[in-house]
Amino acid sequence: MAYDEFLADRLRNALKEQHAVYEEKKMFGGLCFMVDDKMCVGIIKNELMARINPEKQDYYLQKKGARLMEFTHRPMKGFLQVSTDGIDLDSDLDAWVSYCLEFNPLAKSSKKKK
């Protein structure tokens, strides 16, 4: 199993509860939920990957279980990983999904491959 299927189900429910229209894509060895063709939130192994407003990154890093996401050993601005203790409660997961959905309209879309 490349990613936590139970967390995937929890994320699907959280996105539906917040009336988000999403598409699922497997990437980074995990699962990503795309909103408006932009990476919004996802799962890497058993942790949450959150795309958040980089201007509020320091605030989000103070939350339980949050740390900078490092891809190829370099921190990615605006992307955090949240360990299981930071998303144990549904209310915690819902809050992270809200943060991601709040930033999504401001996020830049990746370039389409031709």
The CATH number given to whatever domain includes residue 79 is 3.30.1460.30
Is 76 among the domain residues?
A: yes
Q: What is residue 61's predicted lDDT score, i.e. its pLDDT?
A: 97
Chain centroid to CA 109: 15
pTM: 0.92
| Residue-wise pLDDT tens digits, 57-101 | 999 999 999 999 987 778 889 999 999 999 999 999 999 999 999
Number of domains in the chain: 1
| Residue-wise pLDDT tens digits, 36-45 | 999 999 999 9
Residue with tokens 């996802």: 42
State the helix-helix crossing angle for 5-17 and 90-103, rounded to 10 degrees.
60
Residue-range definition of the domain harbouring residue 38: 5-106
Q: What is residue 111's predicted lDDT score, i.e. its pLDDT?
A: 64
Is 37 among the domain residues?
A: yes
Query: pLDDT higher for 54 or 2?
Result: 54
Q: Which residues of 2-22 are buried (b: 16+ CB within 10 A; e: fewer)?
A: ebbeebbebbeebbeeeebeb
Q: What is residue 63's predicted lDDT score, i.e. its pLDDT?
A: 97
Name the E strands within 5-112: 22-27, 30-35, 38-44, 47-51, 66-71, 74-82
Q: What is residue 41's predicted lDDT score, i.e. its pLDDT?
A: 97
Q: CB burial class (10 A; 0-12, 13-18, 19+) of residue 94?
A: middle
Neighbours of 46 (CB within 10 A): 15
